[in-house]
Amino acid sequence: MVPRPGAHECGTEATMDLIGGKWKVSLLWVLAQRSARFGELRRALPGITEKVLAAHLREMESGGLVHREAHDEVPPRVEYSLTPLGCSLNEALEPLGKWGREHLLATG
């Protein structure tokens, strides 16, 4: 423990960059529950626009977090799901969620 200065925040900030988009954490969470289509994601994230949803998905895909699978049908059908990497990131996020629930939402 107590690694040299830099060891902690370096990894943390690199990670924060990956999920820095406004809706990315939510996206990660939704896809952790079940894979979903573009329209399902849009409905699951009320307020997000198509442009931003598409952009976030592309970024998360290129970051290796999300897998995109296009089925060649009519009407078009595209399934988005979390990669194992995306899954593990979502799990690494859980302590933050727990902290927020305990200290911010203060429901109990």
Partner DNA sequence: CTGTATCCCTCGGGATACTG
Partner DNA sequence: CAGTATCCCGAGGGATACAG
Interface residues with DNA (CB under 7 A)? 20-23, 37-40, 47-52, 54-58, 68, 70, 75-78, 80
Our CB check for a copy of itself shows the closer of 16 and 78 to be 16
Read off the tokens for 98. Answer: 């727990």
Residue 100 DSSP code: H
Least distance from a copy of itself to the Cβ atom of residue 66, Å: 14
Our CB check for a copy of itself shows the closer of 62 and 75 to be 62
Our CB check for a copy of itself shows the closer of 3 and 75 to be 3
Cβ atoms of 82 and 63 closer than 8 Å:
no
